[in-house]
A and B are shown apart, each in its own frame.
Chain A
Amino acid sequence: MTQLPPPSAKKLGLVIDLDTCVGCHACVVSCKGWNTENYGAPLSDQQAYGADPSGTFLNRVHSYEVQPEEGAAQLIHFPKSCLHCEDAPCVTVCPTGASYKRAEDGIVLVNESDCIGCGLCAWACPYGARELDAKEGVMKKCTLCVDRIYNENLPEEDRQPACVRTCPSGARHFGDLGDVDSDVSKLVAERGGFDLMPEQGTKPVNKYLPPRPKDEMPEFDILAPYLEPIASDGKGFVGWLDKALSSLPGGAK
């Protein structure tokens, strides 16, 4: 059914820490690895070793440069996957009922045997979380590793999404964002977690934690002022040298 269920009490999702993500793409690789071998159709690649490689990924890491009004620019790595929105526009546009949001935990999934591959859900998603697999012709998206998190055949520490399990910098957290006392909810409250494109009205479950403000390093090197490599005042020996070298044929003015 593509009608959205009433908001579930349990809202499973991710919290992504933009302060600690180092942009290593390990989550991208582990996601592709797990999801190509498990739930649903494999994630195909086209011309993987050719001149113009492309493929289906459920999680991608962008990198942004943010330039504050003053000071140096910051580089921020930005992993992005399905945000399992509460008001998921990708679900309601689906003509076949293949796209659905689970009433019990809020995970948004695609029933691939019902998907006609029309692509309308990808149009409706503002985040680019859905990709139509070029080989299988069905829509692929993050399942929040639904086949791991409830899988009792796995050791308990592995019952979390592959991206979270693999992240070497602890930038990804998984939990119930519907429970205000859960670790992830506390983290969001403490660090001021935010929604992506809140104006789109999708009410994403996944939250992003902002980068912490950069430290201001005080100048402590007492020799530094004497070792300025470029003389700008044009006085003394350096000034004479500057003029003398400039006056030579071909010298820099």
Chain B
Amino acid sequence: MHPASSVILFNTFSGLGFGLLFWLGLGVIVPTGMSAFIWFAIAYIFAVGGLIASTFHLGHPERALKAFSQWQTSWLSREGICAVFALVTMAIYGAGLVFAGTQLQLIGIVGGIASLGVVFTTSMIYAQMKTVPRWRHWTTPAMYLTLSLGGGALLAGQITLASVLLIIGGILQVFAWISGDTRFKSSGTNMETATGLGHIGKVRAFEPPHTGTNYLMHEFIHKVGRKHADQLRIITIGLAFVVPVLLLLLPFTNHIFAALAVLSHIAGVLTLRWLFFAQAEHVVGLYYGKR
């Protein structure tokens, strides 16, 4: 799959932002006044910034309102509704803390769960794709949720929570990669089923339909960088999980180390998301004899 930068930015920053909103909503930290304003501003810049970035890949972003209508079948529609609900609810909760210094606990819990709901609905957009065997697995939503919770806890300065969640996340990601490597093959879709010519013999793409490229090849067939996947996986694990956990576990607390842990985690998650797309193979590539 083509790793579109708008979608990578969305997945990374919205995940962190909604993760932070989840912990804020649950009352793990209860700031008031100006400090509450700063906490919520950070969460909203991440969450909303990511959402805005995601509209950059649309052909007609001006019609985006229509996307709220098909929640009965479409995970993308559910994601949109969930995002608006979570942002509005958390804005009410945040306003209570910033302006009145009161904690509207129930609204916070509802908003926090809805924030996590956004992350879950996002993950299901990918996990539902039968055409991309690597994504169609429980590890996709599990990974999205763990990353969002872990990253959110890291932003919220929760050392124990963040360390535990990031360690779980790292282990889960390694499992997702290893189990995902064989999923295309075991999906049962291959050139023989794609063409229905397997009963004659081995099928090979002889001539493509056109000399140039097309939308499908651009969107679904991506090879550049896959050859560096092993190194990128090591870099991802290092930056997203190992370095932040080590910095958190240092025996003295220091704001610079905390900031470094956050930056390292963000850089790692950006790489992780890039790999999530770049390594995913769509079955349509089979028609072109490519992946």
Q: Measuring CB to CB, which residues of chain A are less than 8 angstroms from any residue of chain B?
A: 1-3, 18, 25, 28, 52-57, 60-69, 73-76, 78, 80, 89, 91-98, 114-120, 122-128, 131-134, 136-139, 194-201, 208, 210-211
Contact = CB atoms under 8 A, between A and B. Distances in A.
Contacts of B208: 62
Contacts of A52: 212-213
Most buried by A among B80, B189, B196, B220: B196
A97 B66 contact: yes
Interface stretch (B166-174, B264-272, B280-288): B280-288
A32 to B, nearest CB: 11
B200 interface: yes
B142 to A, nearest CB: 21
On chain B, which size bracket covers the interface? 35 or more
B76 A93 contact: yes
B69 interface: yes
A132 B64 CA distance: 17
22 contacts: A60-B210, A62-B205, A64-B204, A66-B204, A67-B202, A73-B201, A74-B201, A76-B195, A91-B73, A93-B75, A96-B77, A116-B64, A118-B67, A123-B129, A123-B220, A128-B220, A128-B287, A132-B215, A137-B59, A195-B196, A199-B193, A210-B199
B194 interface: yes
Nearest to A136: B59
B251 interface: no
B58 A68 contact: no
B9 to A, nearest CB: 16
A19 B200 CA distance: 13
B72 interface: yes
Contacts of B1: 123
A3 B73 CA distance: 6
A96 B195 contact: no
B230 interface: no
B2 to A, nearest CB: 10
Contact of A66 (B57, B193, B201, B214): B201
Contacts of A91: 73
A67 B211 CA distance: 24
Nearest to B284: A128
A98 B199 CA distance: 38
Nearest to B282: A123
Given A63-B207, A137-B60, A78 B195 contact: yes
Given A62-B287, A68-B201, A211-B200, A119 B131 contact: no
Interface in B180-236: 187-189, 191, 193-197, 199-216, 219-220
Given A68-B200, A92-B73, A118-B67, 4 more contacts: A18-B197, A62-B287, A80-B209, A126-B189
Given A78-B195, A95-B76, A199-B193, A60 B209 contact: yes
Contacts of B63: 96, 114-116
A141 to B, nearest CB: 12
B4 to A, nearest CB: 9
